[in-house]
Structure 1
Amino acid sequence: MKDRLRIALAGNPNVGKSTIFNALTGSNQHIGNWPGVTVEKKSGVARLGADEIEVVDLPGTYSLTAYSVDEVVARDYIIDEKPDAVIQVIDATNFERNLYLTTQLMELNVPLVIALNMSDEAEKNGVAINRTLIKKYFEIPAVRTIGSSGEGLDELLRAAVSEAATSPHHEHAIGYGDEIEEKIALLVPAISRDAALASRYPPRWLAIRLLEGDENARARVAESPVRDAIASELAKTGAEETEAAMADRRYEVIAALLPQVCTTCVRTLNASDHIDRVVTNRWLGIPIFLALMWGAFELTFAAASPFAAAIDAGVAYAAAAVSSGVQPAWLGLLLGDGIIGGLGAVLIFIPNIFILLLLLSLLEDSGYLARAAFVMDRLMYAIGLPGKSFIPMLIGFGCNVPAIMATRTIEDSNDRLITILITPFMSCGARLPVYVLFAGIFFPQNAGTVVFALYVLGIALAIGSAWLMRRSILPGKPAAFLMEMPPYRIPTARVSLRHMWDRGQMYLRKATGVILIGALVVWSLASFPAGAEYGSAESYAGMLGHLLQPLVAPLGFDWKIAVALLFGFVAKEVVVGSLGVLYGAGEGSLPAALLADPALSPVTAFALMAFVLIYLPCLAALAVIKKETGSWKWTGFSVIYGLVVAYLVAFLITRAGTVIAGGI
């Protein structure tokens, strides 16, 4: 007997499903991947009185037609793992759109409960949904919830527990008309003759999926002793026509029932619609998006500068004190130059990173970033990609690893591969310390604008690369992009701060892990062999750097930059940590040391920032590229292509900057 009930959360994207999951499970969460795929799996434990309930957050999906990995994962979990109940989270402000998934969940014969989420926003818009009539017509209990405040969640769990203990479930099935129902009636007995098949999958559901031409469903009956009888019936049916007819019938049922359960669901123009007329305007949309991003970077530098300066002074003082005060001398140098100098050089930028993450969280939670994907759809389609590809690119502003994984929602294999290959050009948070360091030193009056220019450069290179790949190695036509806009809402401090912390703590973990190890490795290379002057040409770091210097000299980089870039392959933050060690930040401030280096100039600094933006995905991103593509060939292509483009861009910046600086 199971120790606890298992409840699955299903729903369309942007309905607040993750918010409800977080509210139900709190810190009792486990995050991994579903077996065999890189789709994120979230599970946690909720408590109802003294009882513990396992909650599984299924991938967001508009339907269960198995066209994407998300749809397959969500559907297979319900069918194969058989949770005790399923909660479908519905955006009450877009009630009609969510009902298509409801009709498909009903066919799975699972204990089902509807969570009418964002009910407060729906009610403000004059939407009144009759939960009693939902129960009457759909035989599904509906609960009013507000995920952001936790209202209604206990009642929701109680309803799910009650449904799990009730049988039978959802006898009201959609009728597909005489012709299709006759075909279903012939398939169901054939399926039922295989007792094992019929016990594992609801026969009517499986018959419907087979008639719709679902390859996943057909694979399930391929080894069945009744496969020939099933194949004989399917041979008489056109799958595409049947699927379209079934979809039409579901929409007809929804259209008929909607006025019964929601007399005010006919939408009128509201404040969100009026705002969208401006921010998604054909001509204004992209300039507004760019202006908001520029403002975010400018505000980040303005707000973070005092905090960063204080941390910088503290790190420099601590490093100098430890280097000179701890005995034996080698230990003082290890702690001062190696650990405090290397790690501190990265921690200086915590204020910038957390402030930028907070601003991006506010834009996301307000509903604006979804509009950014819509605004970019026309441009993406022109280069040969669906607008959906811009969503992973936006996620890439935080981290390329989940961004590459997010490409799983793209159905076409070539569209998905191109998106995977161009996503590393999006400037992730790991590159931000490099930008903040060099932009703050060499462009103190325009640091925000310089960082903004780097983000735009990344987008431009991604788009240009996609255009080139689509017209050469990965031809094809992009799919249409359909997207439901979430309503604008005022972000809550609790949710936005939670999003900021969830993303920012990744940076902190890296700073105390791989970046510290990288700094210690670089310090060791700079300190040995015994007798060599620290960081000199005779040290191992100097030998390695001078070996690499001829490769980067045309870009204006010296051997210290070459060593930092080499170790930055592990994680981009290591570039700053390495520079903190190599420039002896234990003896003073790293910005001051860099500014005093005659080999560095504004032109070199901008070329270096562009190179760090482009040259290599980090080790973790490369591992995900290999896993997602299943190919060493494409992983190697990503490395070589990035290095070539980085070198060309940095070379052009160096040459053009030198000409401009020389007044020619």
Structure 2
Amino acid sequence: MSIAIALAGNPNAGKTTLFNELTGARQHVGNYPGVTVEKKQGTCVSEVGTFEIIDLPGTYSLTAYSLEEVVARDYLVNEKPAMIVNIVDASNLERNLYLSVQFMEMGIPVCLALNMMDVAQKRGIEINADRLSELLGVPVVPMVARTGKGKKELLAQVAKAIDKPAAPLLISYGQDIDKTLDEMEKIIRENNFLTDRYPPRWVALKYLENDNQILELGADCSKETAGKLIEIGEKVGRHMSATLDTHPEGMIADQRYGFINSILKQNVVRFAYDRNRLQRSDQIDKVLTNRFLGPLLMVGVLAALFQFTFTYSALPVEWIEGLFGWISGVADAILPDGLLKSMIVSGIIDGVGGVMGFVPLIMFMFLGISFIEDSGYLARMAFMLDRVFRIFGLHGSSVMAFIVSGGIAGGCAVPGVMAARTLKSPKERLATLLTVPFMNCGAKLPVYALLVAAFFPKSQTTVMVILTMISWIGALLVAKLLRSTVIRGESTPFVMELPPYRLPTLKGLWIHTWERTWQYMKKAGTVILGISILLWTMMTFPGLDDKTTAQFESRRTAIIDSVQAEILKEIDTADKDAELSPEARKVKDALAGIDGRKSLTRLENSFAGRIGKALEKISYLAGFDWRTNIALLGGFAAKEVVVSTLGTAYSLGDVDSGSTESLGQRLAKAPGWGPVTAFALMIFTIFYSPCFVTVACIAKETGSWKWAAFSVGFNTALAFALSVLAYQVGSLIVN
């Protein structure tokens, strides 16, 4: 039987690194019940026992200001894990212990994982872990999570302390508050007010801190008792305001930090040299976050990321494309002609294969992004971009939502929309979640990769950097438009912690890369497969009527009847790649041409073809033909479908029905396609409607389908206008 252990700590304290080190590949990701906050859970098998590890959202406190804090606290209260392993950044001990103190006040068993001891030592910080453990009364284990140092000692301490009960920590908050807490605690005990879930003194503290969640729970439990507690809290608040010019929340926070300081001064922390000495991370930041040099270096990092991705993924992508081409050829050869063969070859293999072919590219992209993120540079990018965001009416915290959505390519708009909930200003939050879908998420990457490789093979990195800049500039301009019109309001200040630079571990990079790549692969094998089959159905039925079918058959018959039997026999018996005589080659090409025109006519006559043809009356302005229109319609469900649908459409309507060329090669040879058309399509892909899952998420986060519908309509109209502009201007330049 495994024992539940919760990992908790401040953001950037190394919590995820420790989680990966403890669980390795034995982990899975889901959502907490009823909310969209990510839940990571895994199993740790060790010499001292088997533990179920739950990675709680990173928080700075347990006062319910954000959804992450509510989720973390609710898990601790409702699920009652055997122990909290609190990951503490040893190089920022005072700030990190603030959360530790709150855990101890709840009366939950706590073990402190004193992480990043190597960073602390480099900064000249010496910590007496045994003395800290003695003063706090909890186990304290020094460690370096990224290298695994201290892992065994941590598990041993957890196993040793797991059955020991923990009494709630009592801190003196000054005469006024202590007296009030005693009075409130007495009322809470006498009325059994929330005591089935929380310690009485802790409930009293939350009332003095005006914790909204506890206030709501208290009102549901007993309005009378809740009213008494609120009245007592307001009374002490007025008294403290008049006598000390402060309020209970501020005094409680001050006294907690005072308690922490008193602990640290008792021979716990010693500085080997001047505390104000400029540290290595600060020295690096003087260059990397410089007002002028920093942005240039950031663009250089993006260019290097794309160069790395395209350079090293080219060969694996070619292998997988060749594999699916071979599978398609085998299926075409062994399956009898008919709907089943068409669905398997065109609907499944050419559809899903077109998306799966980009798995190596996605993997290399995620590897690069994971390195940037784990090294600490991603936080610097957010810091630098905050200066720009304020100009466009957005908050600095919006930067992380943009980056998560694919600001450096490869993210997802869904968690990006969710990340906007950390913004306190409703106006900034709304403007953020409406513009994050413009980022180049992982679903758009296959579209870009396909078109860039086919039409810009010699400047792939440059084009990708340009697309990234366009997505950012477009999002910021739209945000400015929204904040100046329908979402007016003042901007709020931004404060962000910059973690120290670290060298990412191979294990951490692999886990992060594999998690994201596997999500992409699962989507290709489930959602994309289903949509590909649905679109194949729409592109196949109702088929040709008897009259049109007879016309094509009569043309085939006329050619066959006019040819000598020996030539027909040569064509039938020859291998696929065998050399034919000039007469036989001419006949075979003529027959293939008739078959191709028949396939194209059938596709045009299908339900999807009719819709695409109808839209072509307008879409020609952007250079999009009816087959492209079908693909873009599929992209409303998921952007990867654009590639799979193009694969299906050009397979069903290919002049050479036996062709095993890659989709990029087919597009490069197709009439109407060229660099200008490809660029216009990429512009449209950047800006048009978010995928359906993101639209649903926007509706949920805003509490209204009105803004979700606005996102679909406004984004698509903007995308079409910009793609028309790109195509028309590009055509003039080229011509």
Query: Residues 83 and 512 (structure 1 numbering): CA distance in 2 closer, same or farther, change over 3 Å?
Result: closer
CA distance in 2, matches of 1:452, 1:555: 22
Moved more, 478-487 or 22-31: 22-31
- What value does the CA root-mean-square deviation take over the aligned residues? 2.3
- Amino acid corresponding to residue 387 of structure 1 in structure 2: G
Task: Determine whether 1:535 maps to 2:608.
Answer: no
Deviation at 1:4, TM superposition (A): 5.0
CA distance in 2, matches of 1:135, 1:519: 59
**Residue aligning to 1:618:** 691
1:367 pairs with one of 362, 376, 380: 376
Q: Are the aligned partners of 2:683 and 2:719 in contact in 1 as well (CA < 8 Å)?
A: yes
> Alignment identity in percent?
40
**Residue aligning to 1:219:** 216
Aligned pairs for 1:546-561 (under 5 A) are 546-561=613-628
Task: Determine whether 1:508 maps to 2:573.
Answer: no
CA distance in 1, matches of 2:319, 2:49: 49
2:448 pairs with one of 430, 435, 440: 435
Q: Secondary structure at the match of 2:271?
A: coil
Deviation at 1:379, TM superposition (A): 1.3
Q: Which runs of 5+ in 1 are unaligned?
A: none
Task: Determine whether 1:263 maps to 2:263.
Answer: no
Query: Residues 115 and 273 (structure 1 numbering): CA distance in 2 closer, same or farther, change over 3 Å?
Result: same
Q: Are the aligned partners of 2:177 and 2:236 in contact in 1 as well (CA < 8 Å)?
A: no
Task: Determine whether 1:415 maps to 2:428.
Answer: yes
Aligned pairs for 1:467-506 (under 5 A) are 467-506=480-519
Deviation at 1:276, TM superposition (A): 0.7
Deviation at 1:31, TM superposition (A): 3.0
Q: Write out per-residue CA displacement over residues 588-640 of structure 1, whole angstroms, 9 at most, x where no aligned residue.
A: 23222211123112111101011111112112222222222221111111111
1:153 pairs with one of 148, 151, 165: 151
Q: Write out per-residue CA displacement over residues 38-69 of structure 1, whole angstroms, 9 at most, x where no aligned residue.
A: 11222333334474333322110011221111
CA distance in 1, matches of 2:711, 2:474: 13
**Residue aligning to 2:253:** 247
Q: Are the aligned partners of 1:568 and 1:575 in contact in 2 as well (CA < 8 Å)?
A: yes
Task: Determine whether 1:564 maps to 2:561.
Answer: no
**Residue aligning to 1:634:** 707
Q: Secondary structure at the match of 1:149?
A: coil
CA distance in 2, matches of 1:320, 1:129: 66
Deviation at 1:319, TM superposition (A): 2.5
Q: Which runs of 5+ in 2 are unaligned?
A: 239-245, 550-597
Deviation at 1:568, TM superposition (A): 1.4
CA distance in 2, matches of 1:435, 1:412: 34
Q: Are the aligned partners of 1:527 and 1:535 in contact in 2 as well (CA < 8 Å)?
A: no
**Residue aligning to 1:659:** 732
CA distance in 2, matches of 1:421, 1:504: 26
Q: Secondary structure at the match of 2:542?
A: coil
Q: Secondary structure at the match of 1:490?
A: coil
Q: Are the aligned partners of 1:8 and 1:87 in contact in 2 as well (CA < 8 Å)?
A: yes
**Residue aligning to 1:608:** 681
* TM-score, structure 2 normalization: 0.85
**Residue aligning to 2:583:** none
Q: Write out per-residue CA displacement over residues 129-164 of structure 1, whole angstroms, 9 at most, x where no aligned residue.
A: 111111222222101223223332343233234434
**Residue aligning to 1:302:** 311
CA distance in 1, matches of 2:331, 2:80: 60
2:51 pairs with one of 50, 53, 70: 53
**Residue aligning to 1:592:** 665
Deviation at 1:401, TM superposition (A): 1.7
Q: Write out per-residue CA displacement over residues 366-393 of structure 1, whole angstroms, 9 at most, x where no aligned residue.
A: 1111111111111112222221111011
Q: Secondary structure at the match of 2:624?
A: coil
Q: Are the aligned partners of 1:404 and 1:423 in contact in 2 as well (CA < 8 Å)?
A: yes
Q: Are the aligned partners of 2:207 and 2:230 in contact in 1 as well (CA < 8 Å)?
A: no
Q: Are the aligned partners of 1:347 and 1:511 in contact in 2 as well (CA < 8 Å)?
A: yes
Q: Secondary structure at the match of 1:396?
A: helix
Deviation at 1:559, TM superposition (A): 0.2
CA distance in 1, matches of 2:164, 2:359: 52
Query: Residues 192 and 298 (structure 1 numbering): CA distance in 2 closer, same or farther, change over 3 Å?
Result: same
Deviation at 1:30, TM superposition (A): 4.3
CA distance in 2, matches of 1:81, 1:275: 43
**Residue aligning to 2:281:** 272
CA distance in 1, matches of 2:2, 2:512: 30
Q: Secondary structure at the match of 1:391?
A: helix
- Amino acid corresponding to residue 173 of structure 2 in structure 1: Y
**Residue aligning to 2:574:** none
Aligned pairs for 1:448-467 (under 5 A) are 448-467=461-480
Q: Secondary structure at the match of 2:282?
A: helix
Moved more, 218-227 or 98-107: 218-227
Q: Are the aligned partners of 2:109 and 2:162 in contact in 1 as well (CA < 8 Å)?
A: yes
Query: Residues 217 and 339 (structure 1 numbering): CA distance in 2 closer, same or farther, change over 3 Å?
Result: closer
CA distance in 2, matches of 1:176, 1:528: 75
CA distance in 1, matches of 2:359, 2:75: 40
CA distance in 2, matches of 1:30, 1:432: 25
Moved more, 314-323 or 407-416: 314-323
Query: Residues 232 and 514 (structure 1 numbering): CA distance in 2 closer, same or farther, change over 3 Å?
Result: closer
**Residue aligning to 1:234:** 233
Q: Secondary structure at the match of 2:494?
A: coil
Task: Determine whether 1:190 maps to 2:198.
Answer: no
Q: Secondary structure at the match of 2:665?
A: helix
Deviation at 1:11, TM superposition (A): 0.5
- Amino acid corresponding to residue 583 of structure 1 in structure 2: Y
Q: Are the aligned partners of 1:312 and 1:589 in contact in 2 as well (CA < 8 Å)?
A: yes
- Amino acid corresponding to residue 490 of structure 1 in structure 2: L
Q: Secondary structure at the match of 1:53?
A: strand
CA distance in 2, matches of 1:344, 1:4: 41
Query: Residues 158 and 479 (structure 1 numbering): CA distance in 2 closer, same or farther, change over 3 Å?
Result: farther
